[in-house]
């Protein structure tokens, strides 16, 4: 599991320590990864002016292909995690 955001390395380290994240975080300050995965917001979209990426989860299969995509806009995070785990179990 890997998380990515547009924050700096220092911001990512502080966030990971505060939240006790057990997985790697990627600092994508140039938004290159965000663009590839359609996480960069468009002008006029909510939070665009703040530089906040969309919250999207991608389930990547062993061959490196996107098996599922989940847009987290307005979603309950606990329910989302359960859905992703169920989808992983169904593919195993």
User: If 0-12 CB within 10 Å is exposed, 13-18 middle and 19+ buried, where does residue 54 land?
Assistant: middle
Structure tokens at 23: 């997985």
Whether 38 and 64 share a structural domain = no
More confident: 6 or 76? 6
User: Residue 64: its pLDDT value, please?
Assistant: 92
Whether 28 and 40 share a structural domain = yes
More confident: 12 or 1? 12
User: Residue 75: its pLDDT value, please?
Assistant: 77
Whether 28 and 72 share a structural domain = no
Whether 47 and 74 share a structural domain = no
- Residue 84 lies in domain: 58-92
Whether 4 and 49 share a structural domain = yes
Whether 20 and 3 share a structural domain = yes
65, pLDDT greater than 80: yes
Q: pLDDT, tens digit, for every residue of 14-64? A: 999 999 988 889 999 999 999 999 999 989 988 888 888 888 999 999 999
76, pLDDT greater than 90: no
Whether 4 and 42 share a structural domain = yes
């Amino acid at each position: 599991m890997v998380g990515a955001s547009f924050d700096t390395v220092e911001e990512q380290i502080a966030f990971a320590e505060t939240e006790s994240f057990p997985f790697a975080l990627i600092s994508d300050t140039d938004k290159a990864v965000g663009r590839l995965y359609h996480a960069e917001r468009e002008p006029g979209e909510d939070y665009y002016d703040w530089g906040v990426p969309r919250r999207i989860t991608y389930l990547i299969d062993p061959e490196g292909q996107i098996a599922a995509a989940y847009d987290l806009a307005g979603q309950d995070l606990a329910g989302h995690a359960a859905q992703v785990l169920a989808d992983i179990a169904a593919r195993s």
